[in-house]
Each structure stands twice: as C-alpha cells, then as structure tokens.
Amino acid sequence: MNKILNPTKADWPEILKRPTQTVADIEQTVNQIFDEIKAKGNAAVAKYTELFDGIKLDELRVSPTEVQKAEKEISEELKTAIKLAKSNIEKFHSAQKTERVSVETTNGVSCWQEKKAIQKVGLYIPGGTAPLFSSILMLAIPANLAGCEEIVLCTPPDKEGNVNPAILYAAELCGVTQIFKIGGIQAIGAMTFGTEDVPQVYKIFGPGNQFVTVAKQLATKYQVAIDMPAGPSELLVFADDSANPAYVASDLLSQAEHGADSQVIMVSTSEKFIDKVSEEIEAQVKELPRKEIADKAIENSRLILVSSNDEALEMINEYAPEHFIICSENEDFFVDRIRNAGSVFIGNYTPESAGDYASGTNHTLPTNGYARQYSGVNLDSFMKTITFQKISEEGIKEIGSSIELMAEAEGLQAHKNAVSLRLKDLK
C-alpha cells in the first residue's frame, strides 16, 4: 500500500480521492440500455443478459423447483450460520420500530404522523465472483418487518444460467416474493420500468459496481426512489500503537478483496505501526484466493501518517468512509466526534466483517463520500411517513385569522377564502 507521511491539508483531496468513474463516463451506456428496456421489455433484458453475463435465458424468473433444489445444496452448517445472522438482524431492526407521533398543537388542532410501508421494493444482489447472499438478509428482513407487499429480487446468473444456491436459500428464508436472473444495468432498468415479467417497483435497494450505482441514480429520473448511491466498498481504519497490526491488516484486506475498485485506508499517528501493518498486508495477501483482486484494490489504497488525533479525525470526517474502524487507546475521542461515517466498528475485537454478516447492523451503507448526508439502510428506509391533521370548530377559530393574514400577505386569495368561508359560518 502507498505510504503517505504527514501530508499537508492542501494535499488531502488528492490523497482521499476515490478510484471511481464519474456518472458522465457511464451515463450514456445506462441511458441506452434503459431506453431499450422501456421499449422492448423482456427481450431487451435477455439481450443484455446474454451480452454481459454470457448466457441466453428462455426464462428470467427463478422457478419454485430451483429454490427447492438450492435448499438441498446448502450445508446444514451454512444454514445455521444464516439463521443466526437472520435472528440478530431481526432483533436490531425490530428495535427500530416507533409508535405514532401525535400532538395537539393548539386547542382543537390535532396533528399526527404514521409510518406506512413502501408497497413494492426491488432488491439488487450482486452475484459473479462474490455472490452476496448476506445482502438479502440486510434488505429483505427489514422490508418484511416494515410490511412491504412485494419484494422483488434481481441477481445475475452464472454462465450456466443458474443462481448461487445460497442466494436462493436466503431469499426464500427472508420472504422475497419474486426472484429474477437479471444483473447489472438491465436489472435496475427492469425494476424501474417493469417488463412483461418483472414488476415495476417504487424503490430500489442494494449494492453494486459503478454501473449499477449510476443506473440507480438515473432511475430516480423515472419516479423510482433508491436507498442511496452505494458503489464500490471502502474502509477506513484509525489505529495507533494499542492496536494489533495483524488484525488491522486483515480488516483492510477484507474490504480490498471485494473488488478492484474498492478502496481501503489506514490513518495512524504512529509510523512504526504503519510499517508493521504494511508488513502484515504483504504476508496475508499472499494467502488469499482473491489475491489478484485485492492487489488491484491496494493500488488505490493508502497508509497515512498524521501528527495528532485531532488531525486524524478531521481527515476522517472529510473522507466520510462507508466503514470506519477505531482501534485506539483514545477510542471515546473518535466515537464521540465522528460525524461522517456509514457504520462504525470499535475495538480490536470488532472486525468489519461482523457487520457484513451477523452482528445485527445493516451493511448496505453510503459510499463515495455520501456518508456526509446519507444514512445506511434501516427499517425506516422501507417506510414513508404520512402526516394527518384534524381541526375542530374551536381549532379553526384559534388559527383561522393567522391563516387568513398569511395567505393574504402571499397574495393567495383562494387560500384565505377556504378559511374565511368556514369562519363566517361559525359566527
């Protein structure tokens, strides 16, 4: 990894730059595929599935028989692990439920808000070299807890036209209503516009590569909401001499192996510790089956020495990492002051992979600096809030004259009349 010692603040933007393409680089491709799906439906989806995934499919939908077969192919040990993760994720997300908020703002004026489930949601689950069945748990579980009526899942097929059995098992376990063998841009397009087989959804969730990220962003032009602009995975670790260099190196590599466009960064106040971590990375990466991918991600990554915890914190908040690990003798300093991060992992025994799988928190998180303004997926992500109000005769008398004066000051006479007529009848 690239070592950077005591950079000036003027150098931070370049040092912290993500290895991602801009929307403009990908937008033309996405728009072309979207236009074809809008016009030709299933035929366009099948065309791009053959082009990008190398398989010609006669049927996009996963059949019940395929789901039943997948369950038999999963080991009992993996099933038990998935069920443990499911239990913890359910506990954490169930705890996020809130009651109706109700208040009488003035005598006779009652206002309240209630949360309602988004009826139709789409889940995108990456497949390929790393079939992320864990993302199904993170998305389908809160969708079901929220009460979503349709939960549509799209995931790319392999070269034989199959879906990884763990994906199918997790989808069935977590209550997904329909599963389709569609990946990439064409999956986002299918859920955005709907096809003969794929339902149009109201909101799309799930991680993906840069093409999926841009496709999700462009889907918002067509009255479809998205969870967040979640792209390639990233991790930032702050570690000082109290940390274990082998643990830190393993955490950095755990994210580097996601993809060549992933990025991992360590910030430290100890040059000696940076050297130890660098040695550990060189040793550990040699043993990884995904070494080639991790090596490419490491080219985009940094080991940064700073002079103080204050400088480290300022840099971390500017970077706004998706995942932030704190291994410091002054952990409370960082815990209390972090402002921009998707999810935070504290202490030597809290690996980022715990949040990826089984601790209970959600791993669908904002990347590319969007942690400055976005939250990670949670129960509320699958709901929207509707406000209600009811005003009595006494209530309209209380606030009516204020409404009239404000409407008149804005030059909206019909607004004023809507109150004046009622007040006149109550005299």
Regarding whether 182 and 57 lie in a shared domain, the answer is: yes
Query: What does the pLDDT read at residue 300?
Result: 87
Binding residues for substrate: 233, 255, 258, 323, 356, 410, 415
Known binding-site residues for Zn(2+) equal 255, 258, 356, 415
Q: Are residues 201 and 293 in the same domain?
A: no
Which residues are CB-neighbours of 88 under 8 A, at least 6 positions away?
358, 359, 360
The SS3 assignment for 181 reads: strand
Residue 75 pLDDT more than 70?
A: yes
Evaluate whether 248 touches 281 at the Cβ level (below 8 Å).
no
Q: How far is CA 81 from the centre of its chain?
A: 22
pLDDT at 24: 76
CA distance 56 to 160: 9
Q: Which helix (H) or strand (E) holds 180?
A: strand 178-181
For the full predicted model, state whether its pTM sits above 0.95: no
- Determine whether 363 is an active site residue: no
Share of the chain above pLDDT 70, in %: 99
Closest CA to 85 of 348, 354, 296: 354
How far apart (Å, rounded) are the C-alpha atoms in residues 132 and 124? 10
Q: Which of 323, 363, 394, 398 is catalytic?
A: 323
- Confirm if 281 and 244 have CB atoms less than 8 A apart: no
303 bridge partner residues: 3, 266
Q: How much is the pLDDT for 198?
A: 98
Categorise residue 20: left if φ over 0, alpha if ψ from -120 to 50, beta otherwise.
beta
Could you give the CA distance from residue 51 to residue 37 in angstroms, rounded to a whole number? 14
Question: Checking phi first, is residue 180 left (phi over 0); if not, alpha (psi -120 to 50) or beta?
Answer: beta
- Give the H/E segment covering residue 326: strand 323-327
**Which of 227, 242, 272 is the last residue before a domain boundary?**
227
Please, what is the Cα angle at 327 between 321 and 329, to 5 degrees? 130
Q: In terms of pLDDT, which residue wins out, 322 or 261?
A: 322
**pLDDT at position 322 over 80:** yes
- The binding site comprises 124, 186, 209, 233, 255, 258, 323, 356, 410, 415
How many angstroms separate the CA atoms of 82 and 357, rounded?
Answer: 8
Q: How far apart are CA 387 and CA 111, in angstroms?
A: 7
Please identify, among 205, 227, 249, the residue that sits at the C-terminal boundary of a domain. 227
pLDDT score of 380 more than 80: yes
Domain assignment present for 257? yes
Q: Read off the pLDDT of residues 251-288 as tens digits, 9 standing for 90 and up.
A: 999 999 988 889 999 999 999 999 999 999 999 999 99
Evaluate whether residue 291 is within a structural domain.
yes
Please work out, in degrees rounded to the nearest 5, the angle formed at the alpha carbon of residue 87 by the alpha carbons of 81 and 88. 95
Q: Residue 159 domain-assigned?
A: yes
Q: Which of 205, 209, 181 is nearest to 192 (CA)?
A: 205
The answer on 294 and 187 residing in a single domain is no
> Is the same domain home to 50 and 89?
yes
Say if 271 falls within a structural domain.
yes
- Which of 234, 257, 322, 352 is an active site residue? 322
User: Which parts are annotated binding residues for NAD(+)?
Assistant: 124, 186, 209
Lowest mean pLDDT among 32-36, 153-157, 158-162: 158-162
Q: Which amino acid is at 360?
A: G
CA separation for the pair 35, 218 (Å, rounded): 12
Is residue 291 packed enough to be buried (19+ CB in 10 Å), middle (13-18) or exposed (0-12)?
Answer: middle
Domain extent at residue 399: 392-425
Between 124-138, 194-208, 245-259, 385-399, the lowest mean confidence (pLDDT) is in 124-138
**Domain check: are 138 and 35 in the same one?**
yes
pLDDT band at 22; cut points 50, 70, 90: low
pLDDT of residue 160: 93
Q: How does pLDDT run across 94-131, given as a tens digit for each residue?
A: 999 999 999 999 999 999 999 999 999 999 999 866 78
Residue 21 binned pLDDT confidence (cut-offs 50, 70, 90)? low
Strands 263-268, 302-305: parallel, antiparallel or unpaired by DSSP?
parallel
Mean pLDDT over all residues of the chain?
96
Question: How many domains, in total, are found in the chain?
Answer: 3
Residue 244: count of CB within 10 angstroms of its CB? 15
In our burial notation (b when 16+ CB lie closer than 10 A, e otherwise), range 47-70 reads bbbeeebebebeebebeeebbeeb
Within-domain flag for 386: no
CATH classification of the domain holding 344:
3.40.50.1980
State the Cα–Cα distance between residues 312 and 307, nearest whole angstrom: 8
pLDDT band at 12 (very low <50, low <70, confident <90, very high): very high
322 assigned to active site: yes
